[in-house]
Amino acid sequence: MTVEERLAALRERPVNYDVEAFDPDDPSWREDDYCQPLGFEPPGPPLPDGTFALACRLLRDYRFADPSIVRAHYDVDAPLEGRDMLLELRFHGIRLWSGCRVGAVVDEERVSDGRPLHVWGWPYRTLAGHIEQGEMSWEVWKWMDTGEVEFHIHSFSRVARDANPILALGFRVVGQRERRRYLSRACARMLELTRAEGA
């Protein structure tokens, strides 16, 4: 089956878990949080050509992912919200194809610990056939009082109930280690790219 055929097949697949079911006290779920400082802008709203805007473009195009670990295939002309993404997961010569769907895009001002910030980002959720169930949320934050710009990742996941037993066992053994490697590299690449392309 070609990449195009695999991607097209995702249209008929539902999200493979109840999106309201995540419970941080349920030990079957694994939760991860990462924060990568990216630099500074002048205080106030994001600049149209500053670090925040650059990081948002990198995030929109999924360029922060290390292609030696994960490659994403999707229709570049499709709207971001609701976009189907075919993820090609690579691990020691093994290739797994996994489908995700982008949820609601966030573009808003918030207050955290009394401090104003602007947030842009989006999550994707696993589809039927994915080895896991869960969501990864990717956001760029700008603290408007200091101008600090950060890349934030929050995820929760567990092995899918109907996953192939052999793959599920392998994922339970090495999955968290590989997830940490993937997310750590995503943070490092976002910093590398914002520095290189913002120079």
Q: What is the pLDDT of residues 26-57, one digit of tens each?
A: 887 888 999 999 999 999 999 999 999 999 99
pLDDT at 173: 46
- What's the token pair of residue 55? 């990081």
The whole-model pTM stands at: 0.90
Domain boundaries, the chain: 28-70+102-198
Distance separating alpha carbons of residues 31 and 156, to the nearest angstrom: 4
> 118-166, pLDDT tens digit by residue?
999 999 999 998 778 899 999 999 999 999 999 999 998 887 666 555 5
pLDDT at 51: 97
pLDDT at 172: 52
In three-state secondary structure terms, 104 is coil
In three-state secondary structure terms, 6 is helix
Calculate mean pLDDT across residues 65-79. Answer: 93
Question: For a pLDDT cut of 70, what percent of the chain falls above it?
Answer: 89
- What's the token pair of residue 147? 């101008």
* Phi, psi at 7, each rounded to 5°: -65, -45
> 161-199, pLDDT tens digit by residue?
665 555 544 555 455 677 788 899 999 999 999 999 875
Question: What is the CATH code for 28-70+102-198?
Answer: 3.30.530
Count the alpha carbons within 13 Å of 143 in the hemisphere toward its beta carbon. 16
Kindly report the average pLDDT of the chain as a whole number.
Answer: 89
Q: Is 96 exposed, middle or buried (0-12, 13-18, 19+ CB in 10 A)?
A: middle
